Structure 1
């Protein structure tokens, strides 16, 4: 005999089943990432945009590895500074010659995987007007208009250079704020290594690690310090920022220059996306310092490198570019201080040139000699010439 309580229970189960049956399913966008190379790919950033995903808002979205079911670390980027997120970044690990699938889904803030913000950059007014950036491997800085004016006005402490400085860090965590603070507080100096690394890389008027020149009739012409900046993003995967330069002269040619520089997690290279008017080619350079090192290059693979002793260690610097931009490389050697550089000659296409500039310090630990550095450069070149292929599953 069926009791009233039993009937209520059965009715409740039927109602719950009906609700479950007609509940809206989770909306999933399936993305394929294909690796065409015969090696595992990691620390390469995949960028998903609203137009690619066919969505109006990236804010509530996360990415789940379809195979493992785990959410991966992501970063949202507002590229143009209008308050709306334009890009969703993640770094997949993709096995050799395979295609991996990822699910773009709605997530709550509490569900998002957390990771340290190793990719960081900022304007530094307490040290004149440096702009400095870093990730978990390397750090760099460039110099602004106040530092330039100090030189022009013959005030001590200025810097007149469009070269790029290298900060030799050997810890994963961010050091920019720590190093500037101890310099400001006079509790230490970032020119001395107390376990985190140091700045003992001289730039002067050289190209440093990736500064540009325009060559006309065997003469190299440079711009000056940046004049305006804008931080675009910092986070666990990427930091990027915009720099503008005052127009400069290259033997009668007016050069109009601006750039977006980005540095991704795990990379020894900053990416320079430079907009230019007034020239069809540029030279991206590497300072030769005291000329105690060796310049090498690979035209086919698109890189030029300088490996040298520095302090009680060694450093390799390099310029790498894809086949679209890389033309050749050369060495300019002169007795004039800081003007000797190794150069990559790069094509400017549609008023734009893209190249990568970076370094590896032996004490940092990833790369221990010149041979390992050249192997890294060839691997890096292979990756940028064969990017991961990203598509939607329809």
Structure 2
């Protein structure tokens, strides 16, 4: 009798295990390229996963049995999470399986919010963002009005400023706080990096222009902002600009900017009306560096000496938007830029812009930086394939 009871218990356990395995959904992530895929963010939706609530979902690596770092995103600000993000690591020409499991908040693996952004009212009205490798900022309407009224501390620019960090942990809040206590503090390297990148009215690292005949026209500072998400894997936010004139054409412009963990390049998803093309620029500063471009992989880069070190900046785009690249030299202060010219398709255009600083020890040479751009281009033009079993 005891033997029968034992067999019965074992049968229940076995069937329970089978039931659990049946209940697990399996994500198959496929890499079709002959390179390892890392630091690429997979976006999973409720509809794709067939679930009603993403907050109870975890992703487990079937091979290692390890839970993955994930991040939930409310895209439309309705209080309900729309996306679940994670970053797989896949060997060349291979696929990997992940289980979609039910999980509690306590069971989720924790990670620092490396990908961070916010509006900075204490420093006029900057909007700043960063990840574990790079940091940026842009300038708002108060800074614009101050500049137009001749008030010290104002900035009139829609160019993108680069903050040269050399630590992985977040620095935005720390640097702004220290600058409040000692004005100019973030212009000095205290061991974490500094802001010594001049923007002015240039395009900085990824500001746009509209070219008509031989003249480049720019917007002014952003007028609206909205933070969409911050977390361990991605920060994402919205910027809007006042309508602006480009040689008689009225331009309407807004964009969503995102920066993922492990990337040197921010993604700019721009909505624009009033033009069929845009030019995205990199400031040439003292014009003592080297512009290089790659038509096959749709990028332009500028490698330059920079205050006792070296700095590489770049703009890269999916191939469907790419037209060409060019270098514009002028004697006008801050208006010399390397440009990548892009097609606007259905009033939208997407590009990536970012930089590397030699002091960060990420890329030591121009050649290493350009190799990174080549791989980045391959990845965005051949995305990771994701299926659900």
User: TM-score of the superposition, structure 1-length normalised?
Assistant: 0.95
Alignment of 1:252-271 (within 5 A): 252-271=248-267
Shift of 1:11: 8.9
Q: Which residue of 2 aligns with 1:288?
A: 284
Shift of 1:382: 1.1
Q: Distance in 2 between matches of 1:262 and 1:12?
A: 59
SS at match of 1:324: helix
Identify the range of structure 1 (20-29 vs 90-99) with the bigger mean alpha-carbon deviation.
20-29
Q: Distance in 2 between matches of 1:190 and 1:73?
A: 32
In the alignment, does 2:25 pair up with 1:25?
no
Q: Distance in 1 between matches of 2:12 and 2:296?
A: 62
- For residues 96-136 of structure 1, the C-alpha deviation after alignment (integer angstroms, 9 at most, x for no partner) is 00011111111111211111111111100000000000000
The structure-2 alpha-carbon separation of the partners of 1:296 and 1:187, relative to structure 1 and needing over 3 Å to count, comes to closer
Q: Which residue of 2 aligns with 1:4?
A: none
Shift of 1:25: 2.7
Q: Which residue of 1 aligns with 2:72?
A: 76
SS at match of 2:323: strand
In the alignment, does 2:89 pair up with 1:93?
yes
Identify the range of structure 1 (352-361 vs 24-33) with the bigger mean alpha-carbon deviation.
24-33
Q: Which residue of 2 aligns with 1:249?
A: 245
Q: Say which of 356, 359, 363 aligns to 1:360.
A: 356
SS at match of 2:156: coil
Q: Distance in 2 between matches of 1:350 and 1:82?
A: 26
Q: Which residue of 2 aligns with 1:3?
A: none
Identify the range of structure 1 (231-240 vs 18-27) with the bigger mean alpha-carbon deviation.
18-27
Q: Which residue of 1 aligns with 2:295?
A: 299
In the alignment, does 2:135 pair up with 1:164?
no
User: TM-score of the superposition, structure 2-length normalised?
Assistant: 0.96
SS at match of 1:25: helix
- For residues 230-264 of structure 1, the C-alpha deviation after alignment (integer angstroms, 9 at most, x for no partner) is 10111110011001111111111111111000000
Q: List alignment gaps of at least 5 residues for structure 2.
A: none
Q: Distance in 1 between matches of 2:57 and 2:170?
A: 27
Q: Distance in 2 between matches of 1:351 and 1:66?
A: 42
In the alignment, does 2:42 pair up with 1:34?
no
Q: Distance in 1 between matches of 2:305 and 2:344?
A: 33
Q: Which residue of 2 aligns with 1:327?
A: 323
Q: Say which of 217, 223, 226 aligns to 1:221.
A: 217
Shift of 1:278: 0.7
In the alignment, does 2:194 pair up with 1:201?
no
Give 1 or 2 for the bigger CA radius of gyration. Answer: 1
Q: Distance in 1 between matches of 2:284 and 2:325?
A: 14
Shift of 1:17: 5.3
Q: Which residue of 2 aligns with 1:186?
A: 182
Q: List alignment gaps of at least 5 residues for structure 1.
A: 1-6
Q: Distance in 1 between matches of 2:245 and 2:287?
A: 28
Alignment of 1:339-350 (within 5 A): 339-350=335-346
In the alignment, does 2:104 pair up with 1:111?
no
- For residues 176-223 of structure 1, the C-alpha deviation after alignment (integer angstroms, 9 at most, x for no partner) is 011000010128600000100000000000000000000011110100
Number of residue pairs aligned between Structure 1 and Structure 2? 386
Q: Distance in 2 between matches of 1:352 and 1:149?
A: 29
Tell me the C-alpha RMSD between the 2 structures: 1.6
Shift of 1:10: 7.4
Q: Distance in 2 between matches of 1:388 and 1:117?
A: 24
Alignment of 1:309-328 (within 5 A): 309-328=305-324
Q: Distance in 2 between matches of 1:19 and 1:386?
A: 46
- For residues 351-387 of structure 1, the C-alpha deviation after alignment (integer angstroms, 9 at most, x for no partner) is 1100000000000001011111111111111111111
SS at match of 2:266: strand
Q: Say which of 110, 121, 124 aligns to 1:128.
A: 124
